[in-house]
Structure 1
Amino acid sequence: MSAGLAVTEVRRLGPARLSAGLDRWERLDLAAHERTHGPLPRVSQEALLALAERVDLRGRGGAAFPFARKAHAALAATQRGGQAPVLVVNATEGEPPSVKDATLLTRTPHLVLDGVSLAAAAFGAAEVVVAVAAGSPGELSVPAALDERARARRDQVPTRTVCVPERFVSGESGALVRAVNGRDAVPSTRPVRAAEGGRGGVRGRPTLLCNAETWAQLALLVRLGADGYAVVGTPEESGTLLVTVNRAGGRAPVVVEIPAGAPLGIVLDACGVDPGAGVLVGGYHGGWLRPEVAERTALSRAGLTAAGGVLGAASVAVLPQGVCALGELTRVAGWLAGESVGQCGPCRRGLPETAAALAALTRGSGSPEEVRHAAAQGRGRGACAHPDGTARFVLSGLTAFADEVTAHQQHGGCGRRPGTSLPLPEPAGTRLTLDWSRCDAHGLCASLAPDLLTLDPHGYPVFRTDAPIAPWQESQARRAVAGCPALALRLPRA
């Protein structure tokens, strides 16, 4: 393993497919990869699409969009406009509870590159782009793998790596295409489809964009054939999937390959994880399940839907017993608010207001109705799915931890300890600070920085969240500092 690349533990329940060889090697170089998986067959465009349709191969990044339908759209746009498509591997994985794509790229990168390479050849692609988060393991591992393949002359289509800012919304398809095109990694404010090309595609070309695991699954499908691929899983959702299981107590997460439909309780048990007070499935755009529900829930799209949740990016995190659930919800909601790019109202106001309402409820001065009202303001109205996903995370938490919500309302707390069991990146950036000895409750700051501050019943400022100031909030913060008559606000330098 190259210096600087972290090694995530990989386990499996059932056959080893994506995880094949990882019990013997920390990283499968090209030679080890081909000994493990065999040579990559060549396949025609028609045969590749037929395989994907037969097993209903879906995207593994969260949206679960059918691969074949997305590919057909890009190829139709290619025929209309005469421009060869661009294929993109979305390996940004800005979801803190998920490390499955990073694990693929660091430990078995050639499986991902095999999938996109065979599709590029079959579809006559102009180029392949592998998008990784700046500072992530993929920034080192992907170029190393591409060098190995170049020396062995494995790929027919030019392939390059692009690093994008490490933010939660950078992996949204519109934001990612903008970043590959050299622009800011922000979602488009108008509906665009990458497959159609034009302003929605890489260099204006029809663009087929899938996450890293989807491309790896395609490579397995071509090697195994439809019947062999569908030996495991459910009749509706065949094959295996990768699940990130987060473990409390400072233990590193584990990535587990499971047959689609495996019971969540068995997966948790295999990782030595107790369901605790509640289980979050699908990451920070996912939903909370009560322990008794989680244990019998099948890890599949249909299984999670039946339980009232979502599979999403297939990450699992458990809230340990004795930890304040509302405190954890507030901490993550504040981070999600700061991760927005602030270009539409549902993110600029709705997310901070949701975090502030949660914080008030945690202190015992708010109500769940206020949280629900704030979360509902942005649902279905954002430029991307960030407001909707955040609302799902928050509102499912209010339901799963209803007893604790009541305790905070009635007693100002639940008696449980604050915790940091849900993974978040180390805070970065600056925060507004307030010198209370100077503050005279003029209230001007809240009008100058409404996304950052509100006023309590006595006119004193209250920070909406304790998260660092997002880039789009900096101008408001500077205005509030400059406009404070009492010079009570401070904005330390980063």
Structure 2
Amino acid sequence: MIPHSVPRVLRMGPARLTAGLDHTRRLDLPAHRTLHGDQVPRTLDDIIALVEEVDMRGRGGAAFPFARKLRAVADAARGGECVVLVNGAEGEPASSKDAMLLVRNPHLVLDGAVLAAEALNAREVVLATVEGEVAKSSIEAAVAERRAANVAGAAESRINIRVVGLQEKFISGEGGALVRAVNGLEAVPPGRKRRASTSGVDGLPTLLSNTETFTQLAVLAELGAEEYARVGTSREPGTTLLSVSGGAANAAVVEVPTGTPLINVLEMCEAEIGDGVLIGGYHGAWLDAETAISAIISREGMKMAGGSLGAGIIVPLGESTCSLGEAARVAAYLAAQSSGQCGPCRLGLPDVARALSALVDGSGSTDSIRRSVRAVERRGACFHPDGTAKFVLSTLDAFESDIALHQEHGSCGRPVRGILPLPEREDEPEYRLEVDWTRCQGHGLCAHLLPEFVSLDDYGFPSFKTVPGWMVKEAGRAVDMCPALALRLAQAH
């Protein structure tokens, strides 16, 4: 199976995770084994010693020590069954590195996952990715190749490899939401912290990490700690994958050694910095042009610059678009992508998005945005409200001069070109609340339940805004709870 089009790959320094991809669009099993050799099983103690020697961290954004995850799963399983879960459902529109690995180098992903599964004596490897995408087809083909070749003998044959397709949403890659989806439940965060290492897939202890993490494990096992650490920094050895897009003329997934100057990556991708560079994706932060020029690609380097490397997302803004308008597009997207199961997501994030949009047309203020942000911070059922708040507050800090132009003139004079990547919008149904005025007694309960979409006049009677599809459950609840049975919900035309 060779896809017609594949994610573009560039590199600086040695090719490790991207080795061989300059010669072929996808490495099938024979090509993979020629390049990387046969996988050698290792004990859990050996793997833990390897990852601790190079201080390997998860590459999904949180940078959690991988050795601690391995120990936690082993301790919870106590010699019993466990599962390895590969998170290939990025969800983040600005990230493409995991999709690149699944499409172009799927066997390296599987090598790392099977290596961990064998060491943990796991029951199965589950690989979760987006339904209907080329990445899912590619990894399914890779699993079929392995079954046909039976390349790893009895050890690998004992481990079932299962591919699960998920609906693409921003929150689909959140750990709790991912586990729920694999278990056949709605892909929303569970609302309370529940570690996958204790209870994950089918209630079993689960080693959960993202696609690049398992690929790094495979490379580390192949090279050994000493060779692996020949590139990168002493504290963060090895290479990392970056998804570079936005204002980059040569957008690509780029493999670079840690310690590489950010400006070198931007120049390779022919990227204009413009007003700034977004680091860490839509839960990340903006670096202004001066800071971006001196920033270093590493966890420590990005922290010193005031950002976070996260999942390796780099989005230069360029000079041709309205920075504030671009940020408002993303804030509206993030509000619509919430699961809507807690107040900060259901009510607070739409309020934040509207406040930022008002600032774009010059009618809003930074104070109103900060008030809206304070209403959602540290109050959500998951990290989504806090991540969105971080992005919006960073926007206010990074684009002060642009904000001043909007407040004074209603515009900065530049159009919103859609530089920040977002998925194509599907036509979602909208709904409207209708009232039977012969029944309505002005109780005001509907406005209490749906304050974002229902307002009351001086006499306590309601008027309504159009309800988006993602709020239809809450609107239905308001209809059901109307004490006068005066409300009904209809699809808007």
**Normalising to structure 1: TM-score of the pair?**
0.89
1:44 deviates by 1.2
Residue 41 of structure 2 is aligned to residue 42 of structure 1: yes
**RMSD of Structure 2 on Structure 1 (CA):** 3.0
Q: Residue 137 of structure 1 corresponds to which residue in structure 2?
A: 134
Cα distance between partner residues in 1 of 2:397 and 2:462: 32
The reply to whether residue 210 of structure 1 matches residue 209 of structure 2 is yes
The reply on whether 1:94 has 2:94 as its aligned counterpart is no
Q: What displacement does 1:450 show?
A: 2.8
Please report how far the alpha carbon of residue 407 of structure 1 lies from its aligned counterpart in structure 2 after TM superposition.
1.8
Q: Is 1:2 matched with 2:26?
A: no
Q: 1:477 touches 1:491 (CA, 8 Å); kept in 2?
A: no
| Residue of 345, 361, 371 corresponding to 1:347 | 345
Q: Which residue of 2 aligns with 1:439?
A: none
Q: For residue 390 of structure 2, what is the aligned residue in structure 1?
A: 392
Q: Does the aligned pair in 2 maintain the 1:86–1:127 contact within 8 Å?
A: yes
* Distance in 1, Cα, partners of 2:191 & 2:110: 31
Counterpart in the other structure of 2:165: 163
Letter of the 2:416 counterpart: P
Partner of residue 115, structure 1: 112
The CA distance in 2 between the partners of 1:354 and 1:455, in whole Å, is 22
Query: Percent identity at matched positions?
Result: 49
User: What corresponds to 2:121 in structure 1?
Assistant: 124
Deviation at 1:449, TM superposition (A): 3.8
Shift of residue 47 of structure 1?
A: 0.4
What secondary structure is seen at the aligned counterpart in 2 of 1:194? coil
Equivalent runs, 1:148-227 vs 2, <5 Å: 148-153=145-150, 154=152, 155-156=156-157, 157-197=159-199, 201-227=200-226
Matched, 1:471 2:473: no
> SS at 1:269's partner residue?
helix
Alignment of 1:422-437 (within 5 A): 422-428=420-426, 429-431=428-430
Unaligned runs of 5+ in 2: 434-441
2:65 aligns to what? 66
Query: Secondary structure in 1 aligned to 2:197?
Result: helix
Give the distance between the partners of 2:125 and 2:163, measured in 1 at CA: 9
SS of alignment partner, residue 316 of structure 1: strand
- Gap regions ≥5 residues in structure 1: 435-441
How far apart are residue 339 of structure 1 and its match?
A: 0.5
> Per-residue deviation at 1:473?
3.7
CA gap of 1:66–1:461, structure 2 versus 1, over 3 A, is: farther
The alignment covers a number of residue pairs equal to 475
Distance, in Å, in 1 between the alignment partners of 2:101 and 2:123 is: 25
Report how far residue 296 of structure 1 moved. Answer: 1.3
* Amino acid aligned to 1:328: E
Shift of 1:252: 7.3
Matches within 5 A, 1:348-363: 348-363=346-361
Secondary structure at the counterpart of residue 47 of structure 2: helix
Distance 1:370 1:221, change over 3 A: same
Secondary structure in 2 matching 1:342: coil
Equivalents in 2 of 1:94, 1:173: separation in Å? 12
CA spacing shift, 1:366–1:19, aligned 2, 3 Å:
same
C-alpha distance in structure 2 between counterparts of 1:335 and 1:446, whole Å: 24
1:315 CA displacement:
1.0
Match of 1:294 in 2: 292
- The structure-2 alpha-carbon separation of the partners of 1:230 and 1:146, relative to structure 1 and needing over 3 Å to count, comes to same
**1:368-379 map, 5 Å:** 368-379=366-377
Query: Residues 434-449 of structure 1 correspond to what in structure 2 (within 5 A)?
Result: 449=450
**2:341 and 2:86 mapped to 1: Cα distance?**
26
How high is the TM-score relative to the length of structure 2? 0.89
Q: Is the 8 A contact 2:17 2:216 kept in 1?
A: yes
